[in-house]
């Protein structure tokens, strides 16, 4: 019996169509049916369900490129389908739209127009609490387009194998957001493997890769869990910019972060506990200033690169600072002038030698002139030593990676 289609949306005239099916269809002459629901899956932390990672996105794109070439040659049509489940539909359509932007030269609006009449759930952040912040498919597509335009990714040369290798916790849990920024989970003082198989890496595990990739600065946003001299002795500058897990960066910390990154000629590796919330927020601010991403475009791209990035109130925070970042970016046209103005500031911030390796004084300590951190800092400080949001995210990531063979 022929499969009955409740809907059929044309994506590329005469060749690529999208539909939703509750059951797998029977083969039909002249058609190529294709579904990724069981092949490319999103591994959620909490209530998040997508978008699928950049690695999965490029896996899909590579298959679609081959299928389209075959369909053109054999005069067949591609029916890409998903389950009617709203979340699976959203991920499937987002993948198809990303392929259109990355490999078919489509503008984000053009890629999404065929699906404009359909209802999709907004993508949720990696938290267990219902979130009202809306991040939609079109935001992710615009983020992809802006990333390509800004030179963050070159579709023909993207290395899917490298992406999937280094996203594994035991291989570093690191992700390139752009040629300038590498996000990773925070290293520990000692290497360990728990009875459950959870891995904790040290600075020495990262140094060879960082040197190979010309990482010249490491920024730590969480509490100290290793001696920064282990990086600086290897010739990699280190900057401590702690603020509490799950919160937004105080203005002076965000300024120091951006100033340091602007004055660094090489790549910058940024981490907090899990390399998701604080890390994504600070990198996102830089993206808005330098390449004029909207907050939603930045969050969309960050979550494609590193699922789970930017959590809870950090989403609204990025919306709030977007105009300020754009204004600052408009005034930041001459990198040479900036680099001449900042060396003194940057030199005072980097922990480059042993005498400077002691932790900076607490923001609440006498004689400290920086503005105090939010009042929750004392509580957050205690949580950082126990089970914080970042700890839980790292644990969850390792748990699903142990049960998922790509």
Higher pLDDT pick, 360 / 27 = 27
Query: Is the predicted pLDDT of residue 285 greater than 80, yes or no?
Result: yes
With a cut of 60, say whether residue 116 has pLDDT above it: yes
Q: What is the pLDDT of residue 401?
A: 58
Average pLDDT over residues 366-370: 35
pLDDT at position 404, please? 37
Per-residue model confidence (pLDDT) at position 194: 86
User: Which residue has 């009875």 as its token pair?
Assistant: 195
What is the per-residue pLDDT for 290? Answer: 98
Distances in Å between the Cα of 5 and the Cα atoms of 19, 50, 102, 197 are 7, 25, 28, 46
377 pLDDT exceeds 50?
A: no
**Residue range 181-207: mean pLDDT, rounded:** 95
Residue 31: is it exposed, middle or buried by C-beta count within 10 angstroms (0-12/13-18/19+)? middle
Taking a C-beta distance cutoff of 8 angstroms, is the pair 280, 306 a contact? yes
**Section 40-65 average pLDDT:** 98
Mean pLDDT in residue range 365-382? 36
Separation of first and last alpha carbons in the chain: 34
Check if the beta carbon of residue 133 is closer than 8 Å to that of residue 296: no
pLDDT for the residue 164: 98
Q: Over 80: is that where the pLDDT of 360 sits?
A: no
Beta bridge partners of 200: 192
Domains, the chain, with CATH or none: 9-149 (3.90.190.10), 159-357+370-402 (3.90.190.10)
Reference 322, options 342, 350, 361, 295; nearest CA is 295
Residue with tokens 């030269």: 105
Q: Is 217 helix (H, G, I), strand (E, B) or coil?
A: strand
Helix, strand, coil percentages (3-state) for the chain, rounded to 5, are 45, 10, 45
So what's the pLDDT on residue 373?
Answer: 37
pLDDT of residue 192: 96
Q: Note the pLDDT of residue 3.
A: 63
According to the model, what pLDDT value does residue 196 have? 79
Q: What is the pLDDT of residue 395?
A: 72
Which residues form the catalytic set? 272
pLDDT tens profile 242-271:
999 999 999 999 999 999 999 999 999 999
Mean pLDDT, range 134-163, rounded to an integer: 99
Q: Please, are residues 284 and 318 in contact by the beta-carbon 8 Å criterion?
A: yes
pLDDT of 193 reads 94
Percentage with pLDDT > 90 across the chain: 79
Q: 348 pLDDT exceeds 90?
A: no
pLDDT tens, residue by residue, 65-106? 999 999 999 999 999 999 999 999 999 999 999 999 999 999
Going by DSSP bridges, is the β-strand pair 199-200/9-12 parallel, antiparallel, or unpaired?
A: unpaired
Structure tokens at 195: 């009875």
pLDDT at site 375: 36
Average pLDDT estimate for 6-14: 95
Burial track 318-335 (b if 16+ CB lie within 10 A, e otherwise):
beebbeebeebbeeeeee
Q: What is the pLDDT of residue 277?
A: 98
Question: Has residue 226 got a pLDDT over 70?
Answer: yes
Mean per-residue pLDDT of the chain: 87
Among 194-198, 238-242, 393-397, name the most confident range. 238-242
Mean pLDDT for 138-162 is 99
User: Quick count: other Cβ atoms within 10 Å of Cβ 271?
Assistant: 25
Cβ–Cβ under 8 Å, residues 182 and 261:
no
350 — pLDDT class (breaks 50, 70, 90): very low
Given a cut of 90, whether residue 181 has pLDDT beyond it is: yes
Instruction: Tell whether the model's pLDDT for residue 62 goes beyond 90.
Output: yes
d(CA 223, CA 240): 9
**Is the model's pLDDT at 217 over the cut of 90?**
yes
Report which secondary-structure segment, H or E, holds 153. Answer: none
pLDDT at position 338 over 90: no
Extended beta strands in 51-204, E state: 77-82, 174-176, 181-185, 192-193, 199-200
pLDDT at 367 over 70: no
Count Cα neighbours of 201 within 13 Å in the Cβ-side half-sphere. 22
pLDDT of residue 111: 99
The stretch 200-225 carries a mean pLDDT of: 99
């Amino acid at each position: 019996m022929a499969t009955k289609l409740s809907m059929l949306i044309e994506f590329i005239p005469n060749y690529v169509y999208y539909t939703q099916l509750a059951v797998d269809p029977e083969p039909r002459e002249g058609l190529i049916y294709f579904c990724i629901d069981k092949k490319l899956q999103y591994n959620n932390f909490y209530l998040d369900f997508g978008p699928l990672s950049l690695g999965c996105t490029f896996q899909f794109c590579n298959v679609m490129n081959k299928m389209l070439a075959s369909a053109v040659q054999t005069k067949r049509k591609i029916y890409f389908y998903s389950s009617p489940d709203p979340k699976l539909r959203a991920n499937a359509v987002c993948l198809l739209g990303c392929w259109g932007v990355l490999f078919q030269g489509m503008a984000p609006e053009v890629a999404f127009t065929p699906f404009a009449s359909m209802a999709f759930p907004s993508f949720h952040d990696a938290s267990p609490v219902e979130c009202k912040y809306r991040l939609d498919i079109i935001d992710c597509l615009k983020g992809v387009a802006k990333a390509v335009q800004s030179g963050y990714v070159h579709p023909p040369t993207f290395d899917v194998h490298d992406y999937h290798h280094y996203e594994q916790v035991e291989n570093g849990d690191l992700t390139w957001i752009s040629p300038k920024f590498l996000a990773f989970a925070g290293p520990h003082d000692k290497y360990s493997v728990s009875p459950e198989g959870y891995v904790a890496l040290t600075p020495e595990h990262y140094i060879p890769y960082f040197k190979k990739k010309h990482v010249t600065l490491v920024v730590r946003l969480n509490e100290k869990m290793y001696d920064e001299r282990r990086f600086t002795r290897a010739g990699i500058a280190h900057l401590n910019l702690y603020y509490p897990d799950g919160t937004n960066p105080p203005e002076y910390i965000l300024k120091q972060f951006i100033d340091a990154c602007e004055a660094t000629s090489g790549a910058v590796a940024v981490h907090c506990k899990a390399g998701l919330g604080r890390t994504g927020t600070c990198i996102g601010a830089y993206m808005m200033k330098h390449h004029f991403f909207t907050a939603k475009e930045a969050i969309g791209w960050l979550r494609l690169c590193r699922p789970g990035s930017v959590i809870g109130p950090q989403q609204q925070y990025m919306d709030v600072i977007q105009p300020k970042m754009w204004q600052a970016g408009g005034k930041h046209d001459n990198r040479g002038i900036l680099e001449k103005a900042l060396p003194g500031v940057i030199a005072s911030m980097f922990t480059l030698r042993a005498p400077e390796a002691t932790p900076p004084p607490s923001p609440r300590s006498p004689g400290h002139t920086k503005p105090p951190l939010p009042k929750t800092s004392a509580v957050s400080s205690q949580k950082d030593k126990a089970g914080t949001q970042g700890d839980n995210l790292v644990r969850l990531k390792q748990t699903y990676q142990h049960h998922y063979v790509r």
